[in-house]
Amino acid sequence: MEQVLTYVGYIFVVIGAIFLFLGGLGIVRLPDIYCRLQAGTKASTLGAMSLILGVGFLQPQWMIKALIIIVFIALSNPLSSHALARGSYRHKIRPWTKEDIDAYAQYIKEQGENEAAEEDKQQEKQES
Q: Write the CB contacts of 85 (distance below 8 Å, at least 6 apart in sequence).
A: 33, 34, 37
Site string for another protein, 5-44 (x = CB under 8 A): -----x--xx-xxxxxxxxxxxxxxxxxxxxxxxxxxxxx
**C-beta of 26: minimal distance to another protein in Å?**
4
105 is a contact residue toward another protein (CB under 8 A)? yes
Distance between CA atoms of 9 and 113, rounded to whole angstroms? 56
**C-beta of 109: minimal distance to another protein in Å?**
13
Q: Which amino acid, one-letter code, is at 92?
A: K
60 is a contact residue toward another protein (CB under 8 A)? no
Q: How many residues are given for the chain?
A: 128
Between 116 and 124, name the residue whose CB sits nearer to another protein: 116
Distance between CA atoms of 92 and 87, rounded to whole angstroms? 9
Distance between CA atoms of 25 and 12, rounded to whole angstroms? 20
Using CB under 8 A as the binding rule, the residues of this chain from 61 to 90 that contact another protein are 62, 64-66, 68-69, 72-90
**C-beta of 43: minimal distance to another protein in Å?**
6
